[in-house]
Structure 1
Amino acid sequence: MAVLVLIECAEGQIKKSALEVASYGFQVAQTLGTTAAAVAIGDINPEALTALGKQGITKVYYNNQPEVKNFVPAAYVNVIAQAAETSQAKVIILANSTIGSAVGARLAVRLNASFATNVVSLPEISGESFKVQRGVFSGKAFADVNLTGDRKIIAVKKNTFDIVEQEGTAETEQLSLTFSSADLAGAPQETIKTTGKILLTEAEVVVSGGRGLRGPENWHLIEDLADALGAATACSKPVADVGWRPHHEHVGQTGTTISPNLYIAAGISGAIQHLAGVNSSKVIVVINKDPEAPFFKAADYGIVGDVAEVLPKLTEAARALNQ
């Protein structure tokens, strides 16, 4: 029962979440007494893929044809399915990401495989039983799921598993496919990229602001602290709704779900919908002038004070530590 891992890349570089997934796949392979292979698609540097040997990957199949330079769900599914057949993989592991969500269900139908999303545990394998634990109800509870069938697909929750570091170099092999017009029907017509900023979903530290900032003219307080900490910026839904910040920065149940090592919430009251998107953060720091703000109940650390006074002091302290 070989293991195949999907490696997501951005601008030719392997994403942090992909290293987590590779490490997870290696551990699953060890449990099954087999090896872990990987598949990478799109704008990738084949030479960089050899470094996946440090995460226990023995071989990487890749496809960097022009048709898949940008993410195209149907074409991606074809490449992953081909890699699964070539490697004879019975277990396929993805990140629980935008790409993972888009291809996971399609791949499960294509391969007639069982599929579990938002997985937070290594599988418990005993005989025919292949059980994993997954987060449900926006992370408020967990469910044990037994994956049946010949093939199994697991989407692993980001920032849940440590990255394995060891000695090793992965072998690479190019996969070339002929894509039909149907395969490329969902290809993007235009791609607009934000440069010079840390990707929110990959960030280890996130600084987020709410209506307590009082207006977009004060957003530099969030950006200054984020720059000092090497963090990504985010916002609450009301802030995005009134146009202070773009909607792709909105975190919460109806926005982006994140799980950084550190989440700093400034001027956010902590509505249940917002908490649903950030409650997987390892450490939560809340800054609010209202001592009764609901967010303090979920915080690991809290500061009662005006964000206009607190944030500059935190920024100054962070810059002093970096000197």
Structure 2
Amino acid sequence: MKTLVIAEHDNGRLATASLNAVTAAVRFGGTVDVLVAGHACDAAVAQARAVAGVARVLKVDAAHYAEPLAENLAVLVQRVATEGGYRAVLAGASSFGKNLAPRAAALLDVAAVSDVVGISAPGRYERPIYAGNVMVTVESDQVLDVLTVRSTAFDAAGSGGSAAVEEIAAGPDLALSRVVGRELSKSERPELGTAAVVVSGGRGLGSGENYHRVLDPLADTLGAALGASRAAVDAGFVPNDYQVGQTGKIVAPGLYVAVGISGAIQHLAGMKDSKVIVAINKDPDAPIFQIADYGLVADLFEAVPALTSSVAAT
């Protein structure tokens, strides 16, 4: 049995979501191949071949794969999956995977299974519905399954592998889309999706100025990434790449500090798998307290600076 993982990368470095997808692919048994399609992507290929559990890296180097355009990649995945005789094709449930997997599945004439959090056996998968309130088992009798896997449900694969590298022919350039620019926020803090500690703020902070004045010192002291609820993002406190939730980023850090967040179901779906949840809110009936390991009913403008000072002193 063979499984194929579609690598997400920037031509120089694999995304962590791809390492989680490799761990999921190993659950199928058999061999795991990784498809790296890019341009001048030798560094990404080298990283992929060193991932534990990978048997072979399929390298495709062409100018029209310099950007991960789903239209071009889906056609390539269709050909590779068909010719390779794979049992499953996997990608991380990131924006990349969510864009690519349904297109590839449609071309392969199979149904995609999204946001998989458990693999009991080939053709038997667990995934959340109703914003994570219900877990369902999906059974598939397809010859080939196309899956996106939730990164927080699978550990990232380690290093130490020495996979073979095989160069394969590129697919066509369909010229259906192009990248005209990127706006990337830069930060010295950890990346939100993979951070061990996350400090998130909600509408209770009142403004973007208050968000940074109150939360930045705590995040700096804890070495944490900054996140936010959808309400805070919609109010313009912070950019939308800070958003944690069903329509934002799914996180599962060791410590999640929710400040001024009521705990709407949309937000809880993105962070309730955190190992330890600390909630600070002045409303004792806020839903966030139902899942918090530690809750403090207090004015956040007094409690957070006091917490920051206490942590800094230890």
Above 0.5 in TM-score?
Answer: yes
CA RMSD of aligned residues (A): 2.5
One of 131, 145, 151 as aligned partner of 2:124: 131
Q: Distance in 1 between matches of 2:220 and 2:61?
A: 33
Go from structure 1 to structure 2 and tell me whether the alpha carbon gap of 1:194 and 1:172 turns closer, same or farther (over 3 Å shift).
farther
Q: 1:96 corresponds to which residue?
A: 93
Q: 1:203 corresponds to which residue?
A: 195
Letter in 2 for 1:219: Y
Asked if the contact 2:199/2:226 (under 8 Å) is kept, the reply is: yes
The 5-angstrom pairing of residues 115-154 of structure 1 reads 115-125=112-122, 130-154=123-147
One of 70, 77, 92 as aligned partner of 1:73: 70
Q: 1:62 corresponds to which residue?
A: 59
Q: 1:3 corresponds to which residue?
A: 3
The 5-angstrom pairing of residues 8-19 of structure 1 reads 8-10=8-10, 12-19=12-19
Is 2:100 aligned against 1:109? Answer: no
Question: How far 1:176 sits from its partner (Å)?
Answer: 4.1
Structure 1's unaligned 5+ residue stretches are none
One of 198, 211, 219 as aligned partner of 1:219: 211
Asked if the contact 2:72/2:171 (under 8 Å) is kept, the reply is: no
Letter in 2 for 1:218: N
Q: Distance in 1 between matches of 2:159 and 2:238?
A: 41
TM-score (norm: length of structure 1): 0.85
Q: 2:177 corresponds to which residue?
A: 186
Is 2:276 aligned against 1:267? Answer: no
Go from structure 1 to structure 2 and tell me whether the alpha carbon gap of 1:291 and 1:248 turns closer, same or farther (over 3 Å shift).
same
Q: 1:40 corresponds to which residue?
A: 36
Question: How far 1:257 sits from its partner (Å)?
Answer: 3.9
Aligned residues: 310
Go from structure 1 to structure 2 and tell me whether the alpha carbon gap of 1:168 and 1:274 turns closer, same or farther (over 3 Å shift).
closer
Question: How far 1:264 sits from its partner (Å)?
Answer: 1.5
Runs (4 or more) in structure 1 with deviation over 6 Å come to: none
Letter in 2 for 1:210: G
TM-score (norm: length of structure 2): 0.87
Q: Distance in 2 between matches of 1:226 and 1:173?
A: 44
Q: Distance in 2 between matches of 1:211 and 1:133?
A: 33
Q: Deviations over 1:110-160 (max 9, x none)?
A: 1123321111112325xxxx2111111111111111112221112111211
Letter in 2 for 1:192: E
Letter in 2 for 1:285: V
Go from structure 1 to structure 2 and tell me whether the alpha carbon gap of 1:277 and 1:166 turns closer, same or farther (over 3 Å shift).
closer
Asked if the contact 1:258/1:281 (under 8 Å) is kept, the reply is: no
Letter in 1 for 2:45: L
Q: Deviations over 1:151-203 (max 9, x none)?
A: 111211121112344642122233442533xx332222111122235443343
Q: What is the percentage of aligned positions where both structures have the same residue?
A: 31
Q: Distance in 2 between matches of 1:219 and 1:11?
A: 35
Q: Deviations over 1:239-270 (max 9, x none)?
A: 222222223323334x3041222322101112
Asked if the contact 1:50/1:60 (under 8 Å) is kept, the reply is: no
Structure 2's unaligned 5+ residue stretches are none
